[in-house]
Chain A
Amino acid sequence: MPGPEQARQIFIIRGEKLSVSLITGLITFITGTTYTLIAMNLPAAPLGRANEPKIFPVSLGILMIILSFLLIAQEMKKRASKDNTEYEKAVFKIDNHIKSIILTVLNAAIYSFLFVRAGYVISTFIFVGLELLLFSGIKKWKSSALIAIIFSLAIYILFYKLLGVYLPMTPYIWI
């Protein structure tokens, strides 16, 4: 059955070792179950066969649940064979780069709030500027600001002026 299986990776969370495949299996199981439940409760079709809109989603949900069992079973089998040598490679720890990711997501949320309200050029300057600071550190704020302003203006000219793609404008300044 198996395709080439990579060396199994593990999460280390507070010193506990958890196999990635096992966690994946659990996430898959939860996703599949939730989806199936919502799918079963979809409204009936007003005309034609009433259950038609549900057939495909419900089958997908069940397929997902089956796949999660298969994945967990595969993992258990390996565990039973005591093949623990593979358990070496730690790949995932909550550390600095996760913080950077969270900050990026927050920055993006601010961006989407400002995008229409403040207009493209200004909101993009802020977004890309902050992201550059995040990558390069606060000391390089001058070059970051310069790159951010060049980027937002250049894209504005390319998209809005040359390609005619609609972008929101800043109130009063009208760029």
Chain B
Amino acid sequence: MEKRRIVTLIAAVFILTATVVFAAGSGENEEAQYPKGNLDFVAPGGAGGGWDLTIRTTAKVLKDTGLVKVSMPVRNNPGAGGSVHLTSLQEVKGTARTITVYSPPLILTNLNGTTEYSYNDVTPLARLIADYAVYVVAADSPYKTMNDVMTALKKDIKSVKIGGNSSVGSMDHIQFLIMAKAVGIKNLKEIDYVSFDESGSAQVLGGHIDLFSTGLSEVLGLIESRDLRALAQSSDHRVGEGIIAEISTCQEQGIDATFVNWRGIFGPPEMPEYAVSYWRDIFAKMVKTDEWKAARKTNGWDDAYLDGPDFKTFLGEVNEEYKGVLSDIGMLN
């Protein structure tokens, strides 16, 4: 009857632990000494990716400048384009320990139906930086400007194969469609967009796709070595130095649209007011430090600081813009 005794034991231990756990509420008042104890910095994507890079750099600058004195360990919680972490944030509603980073996929994953949660289910603390889209072709490509590509698409919508690293309906796809929409291409749905998983630049180098829509920081090395040629970038001003500064904007080429890959810092939904004002103040100070400016330069990030409330307004605006494009291609959910 040994088995039965083990089963009884399992049940007993289980009930005991469950009681202890559920008895444990979280009614501490940590307002006065905030932040105290470990903070929980989370990248909603894998190690080494854009979000990871942003939040690790932020944590490092905050530590080096002494703006935040407590320890800020960074962990990764990847999955479904950041949606997995967005769901876990709902479980820590109203708490103040979790700090996370997001960018346009926060809005896109909600609009395309990946997740029910939107930018309204997080607390925007500050927009920090911007990267821009760049549209690159192989060095020997016949296309010289964005307009060449658009003309070709107008003549035959299937003639130019667009590639990107994100999936259909996500950032690399949308940032191209915004430009195509601006020049008046109607059947955006018909444009062939091929999603590659990180290896898109190899595909455009090998001539397997015609145009690669990506982030400027992803292909700096290949543009500098002149293996890839940039047709245009999506900012409203020239960025960077040297050969990067030579890349004209879409606006200069007469395409009246911009796309900003913004990255900002967020807290959990209904973050307590004392914590929100603490972080707004910290980030306002941080963006002025030399350490932050140096980090931006190293990574090729443009300054895009916006305080929490303004950031929230901005999120509302881009939400409408992305909604328009997604509904044109029938991916609005």
A and B touch in the complex (CB under 8 A): yes
Whether A46 contacts B330 by the Cβ 8 Å rule is yes
Contacts of A130 in B (CB 8 A): 6, 9-10, 13
Contact pattern, A 100-127, Cβ under 8 Å of B = 1, otherwise 0: 0001001100100010011000110010
> A46-B331, A47-B330, A126-B17 are contacts. A171–B6 as well, Cβ < 8 Å?
no
- Cα distance A123–B14 when bound, in Å? 9
Interface string of B310-333 (1 = CB under 8 A from A): 000000000000000000011100
Which residues of B from 168 to 200 have beta carbons under 8 Å from A?
A: 168-169, 189-190, 192
Chain B 219-262 interface 0/1 with A at a Cβ cutoff of 8 Å (1 = within) = 00000000000000000000000000000000000000000000
Asked whether, in the complex, the Cβ of A172 is within 8 Å of the Cβ of B24, the reply is yes
Q: Residues of A contacting B169 with CB < 8 Å?
A: 46
Which residues 39-54 in A have Cβ within 8 Å of B in the complex?
A: 46-48
Give A126 to B13 CA distance when docked, in angstroms: 8
In whole angstroms, what is the CA distance A118 to B7 when docked? Answer: 20
Residue pair B6, A133 in contact (C-beta under 8 Å): yes
Answer yes or no: B32 CB below 8 A from chain A CBs: no
Is the contact region of chain B dominated by helix, strand, or loop, or is it mixed? helix
In the complex with contacts A46-B330, A47-B168, A138-B5 CB distance below 8 A: yes
**Complex Cα–Cα for A99 and B3 (A):** 9
Bound: A130/B14 CA distance, A: 11
Of B6, B26, B73, the contact of A134 (CB 8 Å cutoff) = B6
CA distance A133 to B6 in the complex (A): 7
Of A48, A134, A138, A164, the contact of B192 (CB 8 Å cutoff): A48
Contact present for B2 and A110 (CB under 8 Å): no
What is the size, in residues, of chain B's interface with A at 8 Å between Cβ atoms? Answer: 26
CB-based contact B329/A171 at 8 Å: no
Give, as a whole number of angstroms, the nearest-CB distance from B192 to chain A: 7
> Does A166 interact with chain B (Cβ within 8 Å)?
yes
Complexed CA–CA distance, A166 and B41 (Å): 11
The 8 A CB mask of B1-34 against A (1 = contact, 0 = none) is 0110111011001100110110010100000000
CA distance A164 to B75 in the complex (A): 9
Q: How far is the CB of B204 from chain A (nearest CB, A)?
A: 20
Chain B residues whose CB sits within 8 angstroms of the CB of A122 once the complex forms: 17
Residue of A nearest to B329 (CB): A47
Taking a contact as CB atoms under 8 Å apart, the answer to whether B2 and A138 are in contact is yes
Report how far A99 CA is from B20 CA in the complex, Å: 30
Establish whether residues B17 and A114, one from each chain, have CB atoms under 8 Å apart when the complex forms. Answer: yes
Once the chains bind, are A138 and B14 in contact (CB under 8 Å)? no
A interface footprint on B291-316 (CB within 8 Å = 1, 0 otherwise) = 00000000000000000000000000
Residue of chain B at shortest CB distance from A110 = B14
The minimal Cβ–Cβ distance linking B306 to chain A, given in whole angstroms, is 30
Residue in chain A with minimal CB distance to B112: A46
B10 engages A164 (CB within 8 Å): no
Taking CB atoms, residues of chain B closer than 8 Å to A171 are: 21, 24, 26
A residues near B37, Cβ cutoff 8 Å? 174
Closest B residue to A126 by CB, please name it.
B13
A77–B10 CA distance with the chains assembled, in angstroms: 49
Closest residue on chain A to residue B187 by CB atoms: A47
- Shortest CB–CB separation between residue A169 and chain B, in angstroms? 9
A-B contact pairs, 23 of them (CB 8 A): A46-B329, A47-B329, A48-B189, A99-B3, A103-B3, A103-B7, A110-B14, A114-B14, A114-B18, A114-B21, A117-B21, A118-B17, A118-B20, A123-B17, A130-B10, A133-B6, A134-B6, A137-B2, A138-B6, A138-B9, A171-B24, A171-B26, A172-B24
Which residues in A have some Cβ–Cβ distance to B below 8 Å?
46-48, 99, 103, 106-107, 110, 114, 117-118, 122-123, 126, 130, 133-134, 137-138, 164, 166, 171-172, 174
Known pairs A130-B10, A172-B24. 19 more at Cβ < 8 A?
A46-B169, A46-B329, A46-B331, A47-B168, A47-B189, A103-B6, A110-B10, A118-B20, A130-B6, A130-B9, A130-B13, A133-B9, A134-B6, A164-B73, A166-B73, A166-B75, A171-B21, A171-B24, A171-B26
